[in-house]
Amino acid sequence: MAKPIAKTPVFECEDAIAVLKEMQEAPTQEDKEFAKEIRNQRIILFSR
């Protein structure tokens, strides 16, 4: 049986500012390559 989802932690002060700054940064080349790799894994080709 699945575990219940825990509450989302509340970010305050410096933690909240750090999270917001990180979210606003452009993705790095490594992030883009990782996203591309994940997208390629999700394609399922069906053939007969």
Q: What is the pLDDT of residues 21-43, one digit of tens each?
A: 988 999 999 999 999 988 888 76
For residue 39, what pLDDT is reported? Answer: 85
For residue 24, what pLDDT is reported? Answer: 93
Contact indicator for 27, 35 with CB cutoff of 8 Å: yes
- Residue for token digits 């394609």? 43
For residue 31, what pLDDT is reported? Answer: 92
Computed over every residue of the chain, the mean pLDDT equals 85
Largest CA distance in the chain: 57
Report CA 44 to chain centroid distance, whole Å: 22
Rg of the Cα trace of the chain? 18
Q: Which of 31, 29, 48, 47 has its CA nearest to residue 39?
A: 31
